[in-house]
Structure 1
Amino acid sequence: MGGASNDSSSSTTRCGVFELSIFVAAIVSGTACSICSKTMMELHGVGIDGTMELFTKPIFQTFGMFVGMMFGLIMHWAVLVLKIPFPGYEHTSALDNDQRPGYNTTSTNYGAIQSEKDQLLASQASTASTSNATPVWMYFFLIIPSIFDLGATALCMMGLRYLDVSIYQLLRGSGIIFVALMKQHVLGDRLFFFQWLGVFWNVVSVILVGATAILNSNDDVDLDPNDAFWGVALVMAGAFVQALQFVFEEKVMSMEDAAAPPLLLIGMEGFWGTLLCLVVVYPLAYYFPGEDHGSYEDPFNTYEMFMNSNTIQWSFVIYFFTIFAYNLFAVLVTFMLNSIWHAILDNFRPITVWLTDLMIFYVITETGDFGEPWTKFSVVQLLGMFVLLYGTAIYNAPNAGSLKLEGQWYSFGFNLRGEYEEIELEIHEEELNREWEERQQNFKARRTSSLAERSPHTSIHTQALRGFASPKI
């Protein structure tokens, strides 16, 4: 697919068992990442002046995130060189030279007999594989999503300083609002009315959760309501910038002539983000006035505190691996499904984050220094979470686990059965087209050589991956 599609099917991608497992892995790693990020901000270490202070270092955590993402480059080259099966990568075989640009084909087993025709086809396939490699300009082009990621992460980390991690995570769920707006008005991907209803309920949930943060700060003498307000504003701004990243990533991974594989996307975002942190962000943070020994964030003080605390070091190691795992699985969610599903992922994480944070406060720690307590305003936050899930379930129809508004009591008078039937018809037609294309490919494969016997057996994951690039946007 080369451009934005105006059909609605691209907005509603089916989720199978494999895609669901990736989605769950993203939730687990994302929960661990959020908890670890907030925990690091609550740790203490000895700074450059010899006194104990809080390790509230949002720029350092942003930098650590990008360093962790660079590990994707190592995995990318390992997958290419060792021909490891991985979503988004299809490795060229000797007799399969009918490929989409930007992708290779999963290797297939052939008979032991090799002919001159086989060798000629192998040479042609090798040439085609070389021409279909990721172009050099794409490596530089990927600086754009890394800038989005840098801005979004820095804004969210700044906001996290003033908010509980569960509220922070709930507010990040507002990303689905911005993604939906951009998919329709920027990418030209038409959304149904029931999807806009889902977006509306997400707006309501953001209002409830933001109100919870401000009410909690008003009730606690140790908290400043202005800090809570700015925390909410910063996280919302970060969610908007991250929505730009999600939509851009979807576009990049589904380009016809130069699609970027997921691991390359992650690794190059990490590379450019690390470079930008070192040469742009950290110098600005050092010279910009603030509370960290005269700077907004002093890298020398950060280094001193890091080296003086084993707890901070181990927390960073855990954060390093969880942030890479989350970014890997989250990008795979965007690749296998679409950018809306990436935003939906961020809407499900608040449940696991909040439950984990409550468990840390009441079960794991005895002093109550970590985790999050239940307050009298937590009921409002809980209501916001239910509204968030309700809106997400409406938006995700007619996929499994969604809510169809067909006149039931929870539909509030809406009956949108016609829209669901239209989507289901489009999905059915896509399945028929996919089956026809597979039969055509098998027919071509059987005619490739009279001496070599092609095995029709490939993994179900590979079969599923062959259609990933077409219906996204």
Structure 2
Amino acid sequence: MAWTKYQLFLAGLMLTTGSINTLSAKWADMFSANGCKDSPEHTFSHPFVQAVGMFLGELSCLAVFHMLLCHDRRRPEPKMNTGQSFNPLLFLPPALCDMTATSIMYVALNMTSASSFQMLRGAVIIFTGLLSVAFLGRRLVASQWTGILVTILGLIVVGLADFMSGHKDDSHKLSEVITGDLLIIMAQVIAAVQMVLEEKFVYKHDVHPLRAVGTEGFFGFFILSLLLIPFFYIPVGSFSNNPRHVLEDALDAFCQIGHNPMIILALLGNTVSIAFFNFAGISVTKEISATTRMVLDSLRTVVIWVVSLALGWEQFHGLQVLGFIVLLVGAALYNGLHRPLLARIPCCASMVEEEEEGNPAERTRLLDEGRVQEES
């Protein structure tokens, strides 16, 4: 079935804003400027300030939700499904997970390349699958277990690529690259906990996606903004790159922005792009399919990689190509992208049907995407 112009627009918007989100965050990390009290010029290393900006972008989704709701109510026959009433505190646990995972990832982005950052985020498949089995009682089919194993292999290949390129990288020490990669994988454990919490406690209340994202953004923005105060006084030694070597020096961040206004452009790019990315992602799932959303999310890794190479932010490494391909295969197997292809092969069609019937959760997902017909 051919896509409509609106569907093409949504796919393009998701791919573009998703790529800008990571690239703008990395761009901000590459700026240098003087800090407060005429401190020497130093790189903009403020991951928690960047995380606050990202949550501000998510919070804006709540404003968009209410704008759409007001517009819908003016119609003669309102069509917007606002979902059930719910306690906003329901979103606090996943918001805390989101806040922790995002902050760790922005710390890691200071230490490694943008492309490796995006590729290693694929590790979330492993932990989401394992946690869903342990806490949601889900039964993974053979292809999903295979996808998890292939993803682990892909992570090893990307890690080896970073290890080998770390010896030649002038911008990052090898120890920093390895630490950054490990932090990204650690963050995916927390992100997986967030997804399991959302599925167990949030989605069953039929909350509108924009409202869900916005509510989590609300908690993340205000809690992390308050935490910037104690972070200002917590010494962390050489682990931090700000002049005072504290966990986060928000004042130094604002002083650097004052000395180099281009930094605010990068931060705004991150904030605005995350808002549009969430909107586009939700719309792609609704208008096209969840599988298409996964494919576009994989494609933005390619965009980030190509742009980083073109701008000279990182060097080409053949192992990264192999790692990305392996990760892509792992994600495809886990998300069932192989099934439509196998279903066309007579000898494999029955195997695909048995796999779908043996996994009720997978069948529900396919029904939502319109790939199988509900029996009357």
Question: Please, what TM-score do these two structures have when normalized by structure 2?
Answer: 0.83
Please give the alpha-carbon distance, in whole angstroms, between the structure 1 residues aligned to 2:302 and 2:283. Answer: 21
Give the aligned partner of residue 212 of structure 1. Answer: 161
Q: Given the superposition, is the C-alpha separation of residues 280 and 296 from structure 1 closer, same or farther in structure 2, using an over 3 Å criterion? A: closer
Q: What is the CA RMSD across the aligned residues, in angstroms? A: 3.5
How far residue 168 of structure 1 moved from its aligned partner, in angstroms, is 1.0
Task: Give the AA of the match of 2:354.
Answer: E
The 8 Å contact of residues 56 and 161 in structure 1, kept in 2 or not, is answered as: yes
Unaligned runs of 5+ in 2: 358-362
Measured in 1, the distance between the counterparts of 2:272 and 2:281 equals 14
Q: 1:356 to 1:388 in 2, by over 3 A?
A: same
Letter of the structure 2 residue corresponding to residue 381 of structure 1: Q
Who is 2:319 aligned against? 380
With over 3 angstroms needed to count, the CA separation of the structure-2 counterparts of 1:70 and 1:212, relative to structure 1, is same
- Alignment check: 8 A CA contact 1:36 1:318 kept: yes
Q: 2:60 aligns with which of 67, 71, 78?
A: 71
Q: Are residues 1:431 and 2:373 paired?
A: yes
| 1:59 maps to 2:48 | yes
Q: Which residue identity lines up with residue 247 of structure 1 in the other structure? A: V
Distance 1:78 1:64, change over 3 A: same
Separation of aligned partners in 2, 1:296 and 1:201: 36
Match of 1:37 in 2: 25
**Displacement of 1:20:** 8.0
1:382 partner letter: V
Specify the alignment match of 2:71 in structure 1: 82
Distance apart, 1:60 and its partner CA: 0.9
Deviations 1:273-310 (A, max 9, x none): 11111222552354233442321221111111112222
Structure 1 residues 430 and 389: alpha-carbon distance in aligned structure 2, compared to 1, 3 A threshold = closer
With over 3 angstroms needed to count, the CA separation of the structure-2 counterparts of 1:236 and 1:197, relative to structure 1, is same
**Alpha-carbon deviation of 1:381?**
0.7
Secondary structure of 1:83's aligned partner:
helix
1:48 equivalent to 2:36? Answer: yes
Unaligned runs of 5+ in 1: 1-15, 86-90, 94-104, 108-128, 362-370, 408-414, 437-473
Residue 27 to residue 241, structure 1, CA distance change in 2 (3 Å): farther
| In structure 1, C-alpha distance between the alignment counterparts of 2:318 and 2:229, rounded to whole Å | 40
Q: Deviations over 1:419-463 (max 9, x none)?
A: 312356756896234xx5xxxxxxxxxxxxxxxxxxxxxxxxxxx
For residues 283 and 206 of structure 2, the distance between their equivalents in structure 1, rounded to whole angstroms, comes to 14
Measured in 2, the distance between the counterparts of 1:246 and 1:92 equals: 37
Corresponding residue of 1:303: 254
Measured at CA, do residues 288 and 134 of structure 1 come closer, stay the same or move farther in structure 2, by a change above 3 Å? farther
Out of 197, 206, 213, the position equivalent to 1:266 is: 213
- 1:421 paired with 2:353, answer yes
Q: CA deviation at 1:83?
A: 0.5
Post-superposition offset of 1:382:
0.7
176, 184, 195: which is aligned to 2:144?
Answer: 195
Alignment correspondent of 2:132: 183
Question: Is this contact kept in 1: 2:231–2:249, CA < 8 A?
Answer: no
Amino-acid identity (%): 24
* Counterpart-to-counterpart distance in 1, 2:307 and 2:218: 32
Amino acid at match of 2:331: T
Deviation at 1:211, TM superposition (A): 1.2
What's the counterpart of residue 28 of structure 1? 16
Give the number of aligned pairs: 359
State the partner residue of 2:303. Answer: 352
- Structure with the greater alpha carbon radius of gyration: 1
Contact in 2 for aligned 1:250/1:335 (Cα 8 Å): no
Distance in 2 of aligned mates of 1:247 and 1:24: 29
- Per-residue CA deviation, residues 213-237 of structure 1 (Å, 9 max, x unaligned), is 1211123466422212211110001
Compared with structure 1, are the counterparts of its residues 58 and 143 closer, same or farther at alpha carbon in structure 2 (3 Å cutoff)?
A: same
Opposite residue 162 of structure 2, the aligned amino acid is: A
Provide the rounded CA distance (Å) in 1 between the counterparts of 2:138 and 2:329: 23
- Structure 2 equivalent of residue 460 of structure 1: none
Confirm whether residue 314 of structure 1 aligns to residue 262 of structure 2: no
Q: Which has the higher helix share?
A: 2
Of 116, 137, 148, the residue aligned with 1:167 is 116
CA distance in 2, matches of 1:246, 1:69: 16
Amino acid at match of 1:82: H
Match of 2:331 among 380, 392, 396: 392
Cα deviation code 1:62-116 (max 9, x no counterpart): 010011111112111112221179xxxxx994xxxxxxxxxxx728xxxxxxxxx
**2:360 matched residue in structure 1:** none
- Residues 173 and 344 of structure 1 are in contact (CA less than 8 Å); yes or no, is this contact kept in structure 2? no
Task: Say if 2:99 and 2:220, in contact at 8 Å, map to a contact too.
Answer: yes
Q: Look up the match of 2:174.
A: 225
